[in-house]
Amino acid sequence: VVSDFDPSLNEIEVLTSKFHFVDLAGSERLKRTGATGDRAKEGININSGLLALGNVISALGDASKKSLHVPYRDSKLTRLLQDSLGGNSRTLMIACISPSDIDFVETLNTLKYANRARNIKNKVVVNQDRSSKLIHELRIKIQQLETELMEFRQGKRVNDVDGNDCLSDVHLENVMLTK
């Protein structure tokens, strides 16, 4: 939460934000790691979380599937990252790859994964407290009304016979003469 205090107005504007920094584990190939027991279960859990994340990324990044359900609830990981992936946020994903021939398949899969993530388009807006937003809008309206009042006092604006305000004939003639 960021507060911006303007001493001249004696008011506070409140903006809110979140910051998620997530290091995703790589996919675990049980044959390659030779894991057994608890390690094998952990690898399976990692893979299922990454699979769910891949499904969410595919659903969000595919323009033809915009109306489909996005499966955020399929894993804890996707529920935690819901705001970062498809919400009101700027998201940066860094894909780590290996130049080694042994890791070619994993590198290719990582690049495909990152390419799908790149297709996600979020619409980001500032998270502003509603009362702060209302105060800001009212300040703009006050400024417009003060300008309008000043123009009436200077004779630049007048009311016509129907009660509508318009620019005075004298002001319009002065503008034409200065051109």
Q: Look at residue 71 in the predicted model and tell me its pLDDT.
A: 92
User: CA 122 to CA 55: how far, in whole Å?
Assistant: 17
Largest CA distance in the chain: 91
Sketch the domain layout of the chain as residue ranges.
18-118, 130-178
Q: Which fold has domain 18-118?
A: Methane Monooxygenase Hydroxylase; Chain G, domain 1 (1.20.58)
Q: Do the beta carbons of residue 20 and residue 83 sit within 8 Å?
A: yes
pTM: predicted TM-score of the whole model, two decimal places: 0.60
Q: Is 154 left (phi over 0), alpha (psi -120 to 50) or beta?
A: alpha
pLDDT value of residue 104: 92
Average confidence (pLDDT) per 10 residues, the chain, 179 residues: 54 74 77 83 87 91 76 92 85 90 90 90 79 84 93 84 82 83
The reported pLDDT for the residue numbered 10 is: 56
**First vs last Cα of the chain: how many Å apart?**
51
